[in-house]
Amino acid sequence: MTFWKEKILVGRTALKNRLRKGLFLLDGAMGTQLMTLGVEPGKCSELLNFESPGLVIRIHKAYLDAGSDAVLTNTFGGNGFALARHGLASRVAEINTTGAQRAREAAGRSKYVLGDIGPSGDFLEPLGSLKPDQLSATFADQAGALVAGGVDGFIIETMTAVEEIVIAIKSAKAVAPGLPVLASMSFDKRGDDFKTMMGVDVKTAVSFLVAAGADAVGFNCGTTTLDEYVDLAKRYVAAAKAVNDKVLVFAEPNAGKPELLDGKAVYKVTPDEFAEAAKKIYEAGVIIIGGCCGTTPEHINAVSKKLRS
C-alpha cells in the first residue's frame, strides 16, 4: 500500500472490515440514470468520465446523499473487449483510472468507492473466441487502472458464465490481494429454479465464486419480479451458508421486471415497493443491498429510510 493510499483511508475503516459490520448500501443504476439525463443509448458511457465529469459526479453524489455507503465507478463497460467495440481499446488505463477518480471526488474520504467490472461481451473458447489468459490479462489491466484511481474494492457484476467471472475474480485478487471483491451473476426465473443465461444455477454460482476468492457473492440485474428477487435472496443465503459461514451475500435487484414499451425496457417499480422488497431481502440475511437497472436515488433513499429507521 502506498503512502497516498494510506492517506485516502484516513477517516474510514478499510472496506473489508466495514462489510462485516452490518447493513451496507450500494448505489442504484448509472446507465439508466445517464439515459434519463439525455445520454444516447449505444454511446460509450465510460467516455463521460472525461467528456461530462460533472454529470457523472452529480449522479454519484445523488446516490451518496440518498444514503449509499459506496458508489460504483462508471466503468462497467471498461474492460478492453467492451471498449474495443467503441474503438477505445487503447484507453483502458485512463478510462478506468479517471472513472475511479470521479467516484472518489464524489465520495471523499468518508464513503467508499467500488471499481465496477462488467462482462467482456464475448465467451471463452469453444463457445466464443476468448482464450483464458487473454481474458485474465484484460481484467487485470482494468483492475490495475481502477486501483491507480483509488478504489476501495471491486464489484464484478452482470456475469452469466461462471468461467468468465472466476477469471475476473482471480485477476482482481492478483492485482490487489488486500481489496475485497464482490462478485455477482444475473439470474432469470426458469420454471421452479433460477439460472443465468448460460444455465448456471445458484448453488453452482455460489460455490465457484467463493472458491475463486470472492469476499461477497451476489445477484444483480436479470429479469425477475420483486417477489422472485426475495426468493432468490433466500436461496443465495442458504447456498452461501452451505459453502462457508463467513461469506457475505449482496443483492442489486432491478426496479422489477422490465416491460417493453415501444421497444424500450421500462422499469415500473416505485421506490416504496422497492424498499419493501429490500427489507425482505435484508431479513433473509443479505446485508449488502443496492439496485441495478431502473433504480434511482429515490429508490436507494427509500431503502435507506426503511432499513435504518
Of the candidate residues 56, 292, 302, 303, the single one contacting Zn ion (CB under 5 A): 292
Q: State in angstroms the smallest separation of the CB of 30 from Zn ion.
A: 10
Asked whether 159 and 184 are in contact (CB, 8 A), the reply is: yes
Asked whether 154 and 146 are in contact (CB, 8 A), the reply is: yes
Distance CA 241, CA 44 (A): 39
Name the β-bridge partners of 161: none
Give me the phi and psi of 115, to 5 degrees please: -75, 120
* Of 47, 175, 60, 169, nearest in space to 107 by CA: 60
215-244 binders of Zn ion (CB under 5 A): 221
Of the candidate residues 25, 103, 205, 293, the single one contacting Zn ion (CB under 5 A): 293
Asked whether 111 and 300 are in contact (CB, 8 A), the reply is: no
Considering only the stretches 8-16, 129-137, 145-153, 285-293, report the one whose residues sit in contact with Zn ion under the rule CB under 5 A: 285-293
Q: Does 155 contact Zn ion by CB under 5 A? A: no
Distance CA 61, CA 94 (A): 22
Q: State in angstroms the smallest separation of the CB of 97 from Zn ion.
A: 24
Q: Does 159 contact Zn ion by CB under 5 A? A: no
Say how many residues touch Zn ion, by CB under 5 A.
3
Considering only the stretches 81-89, 255-263, 281-289, 292-300, report the one whose residues sit in contact with Zn ion under the rule CB under 5 A: 292-300
Sign of the Cα torsion 295, 300, 302, 307 reads positive
Which CB, 208 or 219, lies closer to Zn ion? 219
Which CB, 118 or 144, lies closer to Zn ion? 118
Q: State in angstroms the smallest separation of the CB of 77 from Zn ion.
A: 12
**Three-class SS state of 255:** coil
Considering only the stretches 117-125, 166-174, 260-268, 290-298, report the one whose residues sit in contact with Zn ion under the rule CB under 5 A: 290-298
Distance CA 287, CA 281 (A): 8
Positions touching Zn ion (CB under 5 A) are 221, 292-293
